[in-house]
A = this chain, B = another copy of it.
């Protein structure tokens, strides 16, 4: 058997996980995926017993397009992984779905060129942040939105969002105060849409700083609450100061919709 490179599309409810990236002793998306693939390739008989959540030195490395934070969801995260297996793409998908917990699903598996790398080759990502501002919180998707107590002015939020579109230094929206590299990123589109009591902030960009979408969401929520003027967004980009932006909106409202290549 020769080693092949595979491309995976993965959907997950991040509620129970400490984010994408594996960490010793904690359940993570990457950890779960590697655990199942390790058994598929090396230890077909040992599943359920021999590898624990914190075993991060497996000979299988699943490379995600990005690292979602604890509690953040993904409708379609892309990952790449090199495997030595006779399984077809569909067999890999079905094997993984059989052994993964029901809050992680492998939607598609394709063979990729040997040089495909889910992170290095990603051209951009689309995220969605979901807010509910009505009086009665819907129960069925309660893990996937953030509730705010008052009605938001989504027209103001939409105007504020326009200031962020384009290439800017997003230092004010960076959650990592010790981040040394360039914080210049390009937001290709940033829309604010209301539907049935929900407000959806959808942002497409070439790259995102730590907590950037959640800080944008928190800042736009404050604009929607009239706690922060629409025009202040311009200044906010210029000051390059995290403390002047809004709060980091909760992880549960954030979902990675798609990775672009």
- Name which of A35-43, A102-110, A158-166, A187-195 contacts chain B: A102-110
Bound-state CA distance A13–B137 (Å) is: 12
A144:B140 contact, CB within 8 angstroms: yes
Interface string of A139-180 (1 = CB under 8 A from B): 111101000000000000000000000000000000000000
Flag whether A28 is at the interface (Cβ < 8 A): no
B105:A138 contact, CB within 8 angstroms: yes
> What residues of chain B lie closer than 8 Å to A69, measured between beta carbons?
none
For A104, the closest partner residue in chain B by CB is B139
> What residues of chain B lie closer than 8 Å to A141, measured between beta carbons?
140-141
Interface residue tally of chain A, by bracket?
20 to 34
Flag whether A128 is at the interface (Cβ < 8 A): no
Interface string of A235-250 (1 = CB under 8 A from B): 0000000000000000
Flag whether A1 is at the interface (Cβ < 8 A): no
> What residues of chain B lie closer than 8 Å to A136, measured between beta carbons?
11, 93, 97, 105-107
Interface centre among A11, A93, A104 (most CB of B within 10 A): A11
Bound-state CA distance A137–B104 (Å) is: 9
A41 to chain B: closest CB distance in Å? Answer: 21
> What residues of chain B lie closer than 8 Å to A139, measured between beta carbons?
11-13, 102-105
Flag whether A73 is at the interface (Cβ < 8 A): yes
A81 to chain B: closest CB distance in Å? Answer: 18
CB-CB contacts below 8 Å: A62-105 with B: 73, 75, 93-94, 97, 102-105
Interface string of A174-218 (1 = CB under 8 A from B): 000000000000000000000000000000000000000000000
Interface CB pairs A-B, < 8 A, 14? A11-B139, A11-B140, A93-B136, A94-B135, A97-B135, A97-B136, A102-B142, A103-B139, A104-B139, A105-B138, A107-B136, A140-B141, A140-B144, A141-B141
For A94, the closest partner residue in chain B by CB is B135
Bound-state CA distance A62–B45 (Å) is: 53
B137:A105 contact, CB within 8 angstroms: yes
B97:A137 contact, CB within 8 angstroms: yes
> What residues of chain B lie closer than 8 Å to A107, measured between beta carbons?
136
> What residues of chain B lie closer than 8 Å to A93, measured between beta carbons?
135-136
A11:B135 contact, CB within 8 angstroms: no
Task: Select one of B13, B103, B142 contacting A103, CB under 8 A.
Answer: B142
Task: Select one of B97, B105, B138, B144 contacting A11, CB under 8 A.
Answer: B138
